[in-house]
Amino acid sequence: MSAGKVTDGRIDVFIDGEKVRCPPGTNLIDLVEGMGKEIPHYCYHPKLSVSGNCRMCLVELGTPAMDRETGKPVLDEDGAPKIMYFPNPVIACATRLTSGMRVRTQSAKVRECREAVLEFLLINHPLDCPICDQAGECLLQEFATDYGRGYSRFIEKKVVKPKRTVLGPRVMLDDERCILCSRCVRFCQEVVEDDVLGFVDRGTYTTLTCYPGKQLENNYSLNTVDICPVGALTSRDFRFRMRVWFLKETPSICTESSVGVNTLVGSREGKVYRITPRRNDGVNDTWMSDSGRALYKRIEDENRLIDFRVNRLPVRPEDALSEALRRLQGDKVAFVGSGQSSVEEHFLFNCLSRAAGSVLNCLVSRTREGDGFLISNDANPNVRGALCLGFIDTLPEANLTGLAEKINRGEVDAVVVHNEDLTTAGIGRSLLEKVEVIYLGSHGNGASETASVVIPGLTVFEKSGTFINQQFRLQKFLQAVPGPPGVLDDLVTISRLLNLLGKDEGRLATPAAVWAVLSRRLKCFEGISFDTLPETGALLDGSAFRSLPFCEGPSLHFEPETGTVEARA
Amino acid sequence: MAVKILKRRPLSLLEKTYLPQILIGLKITLRNLFRPSVTLQYPEERPDIPEGYRGVPTLVKDANGREKCVACQLCEFVCPPRAIRITSRELETGGEDAHIEKAPDEFEIDMLRCIYCGYCQEVCPEEAIWLQDVFSISGYSREAMVFDKEKLYQLGGTLPDNHFKWDRKKAEEEAAKRH
Ligand code: SF4
Ligand code: SF4
Ligand code: SF4
Ligand code: SF4
Ligand code: FES
């Protein structure tokens, strides 16, 4: 066997005459995608089981002929193995590659198959594109451009099916547009194990419905909207609000929990319209929670801070900063950071706390019960960032008892708070009134109300930075929309304060600048730069923190290590 | 660069009197005095606008008097100077037009930006936006030159086409319901 010789466990296959090496059993669609080409498909999804019902992925497939008696490959006159093509095309999504296979993805026959499949898919399809939310990212539109005939030969009456069916609190169904690919059904069965969707009736009347008396209401329901190749399933929140071709998609990280789900933030002209998952096979595959998608609404929350204030009166930014500086220089200061701050903010905040001779650094924990899938027990996305940078060396607490004691004993005059509400973290209002609070944050809360200096900040959508998730994976998020006018980036604010204190770090006002220093200063960040950090993140060495009792339980692609500390010792 | 000096021919005696030129000019004037006038008394009189003229873009209603635009925002996308702004809304279920599902909530064209290219008309899948024969518009402020939906429909009027796409769709739906 010359063509299909097995080397290092990998096999050679030939795609349109091009030799490719891959592990045996690789899925044909995935392989071709990896080559930068495409086999059109609807029902296949890399993270779901193969159902092979749409037939769009038909290709011509050949295998080396075997002699039945000797079990050896048959050779032709030139001594090359003889290739037997299957008489009929086969579906690529159910083809697992074996040694020496040959595939034609572009032949006339394949093209004819695609044209025929598409024509059948379109016979009962409504002419809805102008009002259909999928338009612009619809696989039916895309392949119709490539393989459609441009007019319809179907003169019979189209089948009429229910439109605007409410499937659940967040998902709407248009049955006429459904091409019965069953991706949504398989997602509910296999990924969330909430088996609510299914097909009823037969033939062209087959209709997708919910199980009677049930709703598609699990916290992952909107993933069905993402994977639906057509506009049958639409998000009720996003529906009709913006056409997708206007959206600028910025890679970001979901702040819902320490899982660090990779996302794309869709915005137009400074307004966020939707958040969708971004594929990362090491973190969230292609999924994300519904609750995480709603987080963009916080941008326009009514308690958003936009003014610089000193003693509750609006002032110019410089005045607020110099007032903060006065406190930092003169007083005994404690620092309360946030598990929602980026790595860069933790770094500068830590520098600031050292420059001010901080009495105490602490972080507020946000633990709750996760779902074991993509929401972990820790609602703080970046506790590990604070640990890596040495801002704290123990895990955050829900009640800042240490700080409360110090305030009671009069050992603290001022507290610098980043984004946290101290009144719900064990420091009651009466206690808070004993100290001066310098509050830096995007939203108002109990702490900002009593604060003597308030400096507004940005949300995760309005700034760039990095988070370290539960796997110690460093992941980058980029600015999607500009912040409210006049509001400074938190990094800029902290670096200005450092600058006023005469520290070198005062020059570091962008993530890239911070990383240029960080990668040299800290061993765990060696060789990392902000600009070249891969989209899928970089795994850091978290072994130094192995003994800490992190609160996360197992979730997708994550097994907690702490449970086994004793076992290993 | 070399400068070339042209010689001027000196005027003849007759030319120096200017009389022939004056007489020629008077001839033209006298001839036009007895010809029919071609001047339009604008704005009281208006020119005939030929078919296919690209005037102000307007929104039209269909033969049933229903708004044709479904807020697909293709015109907004294609418009080269970004003159169009649309926000859409979902039509209530149960209403007369519920089967259309979507309609523009606001539709604005900034006529100071519009370059009368006609792309919006060309791209519209519902034949809802038309450059018609209105060519003269004015206003006292920039804001007044941003035409809203009401004004655009007022300028556009009704276009009696005979597609009746949505009527057919509704009929099909009702026929299916009777089964
Ligand atoms: S699903 Fe695709 S092809 Fe069908 S109406 Fe929507 S955009 Fe058009
Ligand atoms: S609703 Fe969408 S995902 Fe579900 S079967 Fe129909 S086309 Fe496929
Ligand atoms: S005519 Fe051209 S410039 Fe004017 S609104 Fe239409 S697309 Fe825009
Ligand atoms: S006028 Fe036509 S192109 Fe523009 S939004 Fe309405 S339907 Fe779409
Ligand atoms: S993708 Fe292969 S049959 Fe649908």
User: What is the pLDDT, as a whole number, of residue A73?
Assistant: 85
Q: How many domains does chain B have?
A: 1
> To the nearest whole percent, how much of chain A has pLDDT over 70?
97
The average pLDDT across B13-17 equals: 90
A135 lines ligand 1 (CB under 6 A): yes
Sequence ranges of the domains in chain A? 11-118, 129-300, 309-567
* pLDDT above 80 for A488: yes
- Answer whether residue B36 is part of any domain: no
Residues A77 and A130 sit within 8 Å (Cβ to Cβ): no
The mean per-residue pLDDT over the stretch A93-107 comes to 95
Global pTM value = 0.90
Query: What would the two tokens of residue B60 be?
Result: 């039209």
**Does CATH place domain A11-118 in 3.10.20.740?**
yes
Q: Is the peptide bond before B43 cis (omega within 30 degrees of 0)?
A: yes
In sequence order, what are the residues at sequence separation of 6 or more whose Cβ sits closer than 8 angstroms to the Cβ of residue A294?
Answer: A237
Band of residue B175 on the pLDDT scale cut at 50, 70, 90: confident
Q: Is the pLDDT of residue A183 over 90?
A: yes
Q: What gap in Å lies between CA A142 and CA B93, rounded to an integer?
A: 30
Burial A324-346 (b: 16+ CB within 10 A, else e): bbebbeebbbbbbbbbbbbbbbb
pLDDT score recorded for residue A90: 96
A395-453 tens-digit pLDDT: 999 999 999 999 999 999 999 999 999 999 989 889 999 999 999 999 999 999 999 99
pLDDT of B178 strictly over 60: yes
pLDDT grade for A66, boundaries at 50, 70 and 90: confident
Select, from the ranges A217-226, A515-524, B42-51, the one with the highest average predicted confidence (pLDDT): A217-226
CATH number of B75's domain: 3.30.70.3270
Which residues, in sequence order, are bridge partners of residue A85?
A62
Rounded distance, CA A339 to CA A481, Å?
22
Buried-exposed string A286-311: b where 16+ CB fall within 10 A, e elsewhere: bbbbbbbbebbebbeeeebbebbbbe
Minimal CA–CA distance to A464: which of A251, A249, A246?
A251
Ligand 2 surroundings by CB, under 6 angstroms: A 178-184, 208, 228-230, 232-233
Write out chain B residues lying below 8 Å of A238, CB-based. none
A38 band by pLDDT with thresholds 50, 70 and 90: very high
* Residue A564 pLDDT: 44
Q: Residue A207 gets which letter from DSSP?
A: E
Strand partners, A248: A267
- DSSP of A406-455: HHHTT--SEEEEES--GGGTT--HHHHTTSEEEEEESB--HHHHH-SEEE
Q: In the structure, what pLDDT confidence band is assigned to residue A68 with cuts at 50, 70 and 90? A: confident
Which is it for the CA torsion A152, A156, A157, A159, positive or negative? negative
CA dihedral A106→A111→A117→A122, nearest 10 degrees, is 110
Give contacts of B 140-169 with A, CB under 8 A. Answer: 165, 169
Between chains, do B172 and A241 touch, taking CB under 8 Å as contact? no
- The CA distance from A87 to A104, in Å, is 13
Give the gap in angstroms from C-alpha B134 to the nearest C-alpha of chain A.
27
Measured distance CA(A230)–CA(A134) in Å, rounded = 6
> For ligand 3, which residues put their CB under 6 angstroms from it?
B 57, 79-81, 83-84, 109, 114-120, 131
In this structure, the strands spanning A360-363 and A414-418 are unpaired
CB of A426 closer than 8 Å to CB of A399: yes
User: Among candidates A202, A199, A196, which has minimal Cα distance to A178?
Assistant: A199
The answer, yes or no, to whether residue A494 has pLDDT greater than 60, is: yes
| Token pair listed for B153 | 């429909």
- Which residue type does A343 have? V
Pairing of strands A165-166, A90-91: unpaired
Asked if B80 and B115 touch (Cβ cutoff 8 Å), the reply is: yes
Q: Please write the tens of the pLDDT for every residue from A537-555.
A: 999 999 999 899 999 999 9
**pLDDT score, position A9:** 85
- Tell the residue number behind the tokens 């609160």, with chain if given: A551
Q: Find the A179 Cα to ligand 2 centroid distance in Å.
A: 6
Name the 3-class secondary structure at A89: coil
Both tokens assigned to B176: 């299916």
CATH 3.30.70.20 fits A129-300, yes or no: yes
Mean pLDDT of A371-389: 95
Instruction: State ipTM.
Output: 0.86
pLDDT of residue A7: 57
Cβ contact A160–B73 (<8 Å): no
Nearest to A131 among B70, B172, B175 (CB): B70
The bridge status of strand A333-337 relative to strand A414-418 is parallel
pLDDT range class, residue A562, cuts 50, 70, 90: low
Helix axes of A108-123 and A139-147: crossing angle, nearest 10 degrees: 130
Nearest residue in B to A126, CA atom: B169
**Chain-chain contact of A158 with B74 (C-beta, under 8 angstroms):** no
Q: How many CA atoms lie within 13 A of A316 on its CB side?
A: 3
The torsion angles phi and psi of A363, rounded to 5 degrees, stand at -130, 145
Q: Which tokens belong to A462?
A: 């309005």
Give the model's confidence band at A244: pLDDT under 50 very low, under 70 low, under 90 confident, else very high: very high
Least confident of A73-77, A443-447, B112-116: A73-77
* pLDDT value of residue B161: 82
**Residue A79's pLDDT band (boundaries 50, 70, 90)?**
confident
Check CB contact of B174 with chain A, cutoff 8 Å: no
Q: What's the CA gap between A280 and A275, in Å, rounded?
A: 15
**DSSP conformation class of A15:** E
Structurally, what CATH architecture does the domain formed by A309-567 represent?
Answer: 3-Layer(aba) Sandwich (3.40)
Tell me which of A129, A139, A161, A180 to substitute to probe ligand 1's pocket, judged by most ligand atoms within 8 Å of the beta carbon. Answer: A129
CB A315 within 8 A of CB A321: no
DSSP-assigned letters across all residues of A371-388: -SSS--SB--TTHHHHHH
pLDDT band at A565; cut points 50, 70, 90: very low
CATH fold match for the domains A11-118 and A129-300: no
List CB contacts of A83: < 8 A, sequence separation 6 or more: A62, A63, A64, A65, A100, A102
Q: Please check whether residue B46 lies inside any domain of the structure.
A: no
Higher-scoring residue by pLDDT: B39, A218:
A218
Helices A343-355, A490-500: inter-axial angle, 10-degree rounding:
20
Q: What pLDDT is stored for residue A2 in this prediction?
A: 44
| A3-13 residue pLDDT tens | 445 457 899 99
Residues 6+ apart with CB under 8 A from A490: A341, A345, A418, A440, A457, A458, A463
The ligand that comes nearest to the alpha carbon of residue B59 is: 4
**Interface residues on A facing B, Cβ-Cβ cutoff 8 A:** 126-127, 129-131, 135, 157-160, 163-164, 239-241, 243, 245-246
DSSP bridge partners of A171? A235
Domain of residue B90, residue span: 57-178
pLDDT at A567: 39
Q: Answer with the residue of higher pLDDT: A374 or A158.
A: A374
Q: For residue A569, name the pLDDT band (cuts at 50, 70, 90).
A: very low
Residue with the nearest Cα to atom 7 of ligand 4?
B69
The arithmetic mean of pLDDT across residues A127-148, rounded, is 94
Q: What is the pLDDT of residues A511-541, one digit of tens each?
A: 999 999 999 999 999 999 999 999 999 999 9
Residues in chain A: 569
